[in-house]
Each structure stands twice: as structure tokens, then as C-alpha cells.
Amino acid sequence: MNNVEKILGGSGLRTTRQRRVILELLFKRGVPLSHSEILSMIDDHLDRVTLYRTLETLKKSGIVHQVQGVDGVWRFCAHEQDAEGCPGDHPHFLCLSCGRMFCLTGQKMPRVDVPEGMKVEGKQFVVYGQCPECAAKGARTDDESEEVK
């Protein structure tokens, strides 16, 4: 049994072909991917509805989470695994110049005290700036490139 099968089994989910293929891709890529990006990278015959349903199941089980980019597109990535193989949240970095998003692995999410009575449904922590490639090119962010009127 490989790591993906252990993760699925540990979450109480059956190991289906779709779950295995999607989760293996998310772990292999290591960056948040949109629905369209996932569909374009999977050689398997997988329709959009099955992808949406599978990602929703994986998200509800805590195996993957979604994070929204500056473009408004939701992307998905697999939770890091701790030493015991349990999934955990991690922050992300979003390049304002090229729009790429990166997982900041090995770092913990900041702690937030939620007022009593509120029920947390999800969380995301995104740091904005320029990736090394854009910073080296001297690329400008959208905010910097706007002319002052």
C-alpha cells in the first residue's frame, strides 16, 4: 500500500481510481492547482463533474484544502503530512506579478482565536509579494503598474 492509499484509508475513504489519481497529482506537483489545471494534467479519462465531486469529498475529509488566488480562482493542494502521517494546514505565497501560488511547506498556520459561538468552516493564510523569478526580473505588480491620474 502506498502513501496515498494510507492517507485515503486513514481518513475512512475508499481508494478509488479518481481519488488516487487526483491526490497523487496534488502531492507530486506540490503547488495549488485549479480545476482546469488538474484536468489538463491528468492523462486519465476524468470529466469535470467527477473532478468537482472528488475534490469536494477530499476537502470534506481534510485531505486537501482550497485556497483562492488573486485572480479569484480556487486552487487545491494536498495537506502536508506530519511525522505520524496526519494531514495539516500550511500557508501559501502568491506572486502578484505572475499569479503563481506556492505552498509554504514546513510552516504552521498562524493561530487565530475565534470568538465564542462562531463555527470555523475553513481557513487560509496567503502571503503576497513577488516570487524569486519575478523579483529578479524586476517585474511590477498590478498595483505598481497603474498610472496615477
Indicate the domain borders of the chain: 3-145
3-state secondary structure (DSSP) of residue 3: helix
Cell of 61: 475529509
Q: Contact 93/131 with Cβ under 8 angstroms?
A: yes
Task: Say how far apart CA 99 and CA 131 lie, in whole Å.
Answer: 9
Degrees to nearest 5, angle at CA 19 with 17 and 23 = 120
List residues forming the annotated binding site for Zn(2+).
Answer: 95, 98, 131, 134
3-state secondary structure (DSSP) of residue 111: coil
List the CATH code of the domain at 3-145. Answer: 1.10.10.10
Q: What is the pLDDT of residues 11-34, one digit of tens each?
A: 888 889 999 999 999 988 878 899
List residues forming the annotated binding site.
Answer: 95, 98, 131, 134
Q: What is the pLDDT of residues 54-112, one digit of tens each?
A: 999 998 888 888 888 777 888 898 875 544 444 456 788 888 888 888 878 777 777 88
DSSP 38-53: HHHH--S---HHHHHH
